[in-house]
Amino acid sequence: MDMVQTEKLVYEYEKRDEEGNVIGMSRAIDEVDIDVKEGQFIAILGHNGSGKSTLAKHINAILVPTEGTMWVNGRNTSDPEELWNVRQSAGMVFQNPDNQIIGTVVEEDVGFGPENLGVPTDEIWQRVEDSLKAVGMIEYRHHSPNKLSGGQKQRVAIAGVVAMEPKCIVLDEPTAMLDPVGRKEVLKTVKKLREKKQVTVILITHYMEEVVDADKVYVMDHGRVVMEGTPREVFSRVDELKNYRLDVPQVTILAHELKKRGLQIPDGILRKEELVEVLCQLN
C-alpha cells in the first residue's frame, strides 16, 4: 500500500517587495512524483534550498500543493476535511530539539500529542510509557527536558511523535545539531522504531552516512527530483552528486580513490565493513 504518494506536485509562493507588493512567483517544488510504500525507509537528499523541507512539510499538510496532489495514507492533503486524519497519519520531527519541546517534564511533553488527539487519559499514560521505552528514554520520564543532551532531547521529540501513533514519521535533519554519539542515538532509535512498529520513515539529511540503510534515496535540486534509486545506485554516481552540491560517505570516497589508483574495487561501496572485506581479499 502507498503511504505517501504525489502526482505532479507543485508548490509556488509569492515573492514580495519591501512594501509587500507581489513581484512574482517562485516555484519551490516543481512537478514532483514520489511514491513511498508502507514500512519503507526513504531518504531525501538535496542542497540547502533544493526544496526538500518544503516537500516534507506537505506530508503532514503544514503546506498544501499549489498544483498536483499529495496523498498520505490514501487521503488527499488538499482536502480540509482530511486535515486531522493526515496529521494523525504523519508526524514530523525537526532539526532543533529546543524548539520542539514544550513540557516541563519529559513524560508531560510526550503526552501532549495524544492529549490533543483526545485520547483517553489511561491510554495516554500507556502510550507515553510505550513510546519512551521505544526511544530508550523511560528512565528520564520524570526529568526536566532542559537538562538532557541534544541527542536525548531529540529522542524525546521522537517519542512525542510516536505517542501519536502515526503510520509515517518525517524527520527533517534531526541530527544536524548533535554530536557524533547523539547522532548515532537518534539513528538507532529510528531503526528500532521501524523494526518494532513498522513505521514508515522519511529522513531528510545532509549526512550521507545516515542514508546507507535506506530502501530508496531521492535527490532533489531546484524543486525537482533529479536522482532516485537505492543508496548503492545513487552513491555510485559520485560526480553527479557533487554537481548537486552533495557528497558520498567517506568510505565511498576512499573506495573511489583506490579504484582510480588501480585497485579492483566494485562501485558503490557504502559501509566500512564492505571495503575492509574487499581489501582483505586483495591482500
CB of 177 to another protein, least distance (A): 6
- Note the residues at the interface with another protein (CB under 8 A): 18, 46-50, 95, 149-151, 173, 176-182, 206, 208-209, 242, 245-247, 249-251, 253-254, 257-258, 261, 263, 272-273, 275-276, 279-280, 282-283
CB of 224 to another protein, least distance (A): 16
Nearer to another protein, 111 or 223 (CB): 223
Residues 4 and 72: beta-carbon distance below 8 Å: yes
CB of 191 to another protein, least distance (A): 18
- ∠ CA 88-69-170, nearest 5°, is 40
CB of 78 to another protein, least distance (A): 28
Nearer to another protein, 126 or 149 (CB): 149
Nearer to another protein, 38 or 247 (CB): 247
Nearer to another protein, 102 or 181 (CB): 181
Cell of 279: 581489501
Nearer to another protein, 12 or 247 (CB): 247
